[in-house]
Amino acid sequence: MKEPAIRRPRSILITGASSGIGEALALEYAAPGVRLALSGRSEKRIARVAKACRAKAATVDAVALDVADEHAMRQWIERVDGQGPLDLVIANAGISGGTSSGGEADAQVRRIFDININGVLNTVLPAIPGMQGRGGGQIAVMSSVASFRGFPGAPAYSASKAAVRAYGEALRGALRADGIKVSVICPGFVRSRITRANKFKMPLLMDADRAARIIQRGLAADKSRIAFPFPTYFTAWLTGALPPALTDPFFRKLPEK
């Protein structure tokens, strides 16, 4: 049976687009008549993704930016929105304790919170006024299945993603009257630069392009929560719902992020 056509926004901004899910989403949305605004920390990697998207006939505005830089992010987003009103903003950029040496040491903890939380705010807040003025638009924030229960091996990552999920879920209701759709994305393990640092077995590990297709379909359907794969999501949700006295012994045995 043929899948129904997916509604495609024409002006899209994606942070963390230089690798992983962000790169896969950029390539999935790239098409003739589509305008992509892409950011990433690596100038070389984001240029490579931009080239691939242009090869698919998309118009691309690609910049090397740190999402934690509030002023630079606001300038970029307001410029992009002024040149072509944004239909969809995906606050995807994020890091984990496994992306640099030393695990979640003091400096890394603060950096995780800065990127994963402030990076989302620096992406979403500058985009909202324009969408409110137009009476429509869509925002997606990248959380994780790790948001449902704090993992002892990744405290800052789990907490930052929990904050993003709660913020996105609340924002969905807060912006509904303005005609703005908000979705929270909660992936399990997806092949990326982040998961490449994991030294443990990752159940139901998924390719980034498959994850991007799931996210794209979920956004087109205006799903409030796009969580996958289901077994991983259900397990995470259940352990978050159970009393800590029951789950603590299990979580103490898990490997560090």
Query: Catalytic residue numbers?
Result: 157
Alpha-helix runs per DSSP H in 84-229: 106-113, 119-134, 155-175, 208-220
Instruction: Tell me the C-alpha distance between 225 and 228, whole Å.
Output: 10
Phi, psi of 139 (to 5 degrees): -125, 135
User: Which helix (DSSP H) or strand (DSSP E) does residue 78 occupy?
Assistant: helix 70-83
Give all strands of the β-sheet with 11-14 in edge-to-edge order: 59-64, 35-40, 11-14, 88-91, 137-142, 180-187, 225-228
- The dihedral region occupied by 173, where left means phi > 0, alpha psi between -120 and 50, and beta the remainder, is alpha
Write out the two tokens for 27.
């390539």
Instruction: Tell me the C-alpha distance between 234 and 177, whole Å.
Output: 31
CA angle 73, 77, 79 (to 5 degrees): 120
Instruction: Tell me the C-alpha distance between 223 and 253, whole Å.
Output: 34
Instruction: Tell me the C-alpha distance between 119 and 217, whole Å.
Output: 24
CB 91 within 8 A of CB 17: no
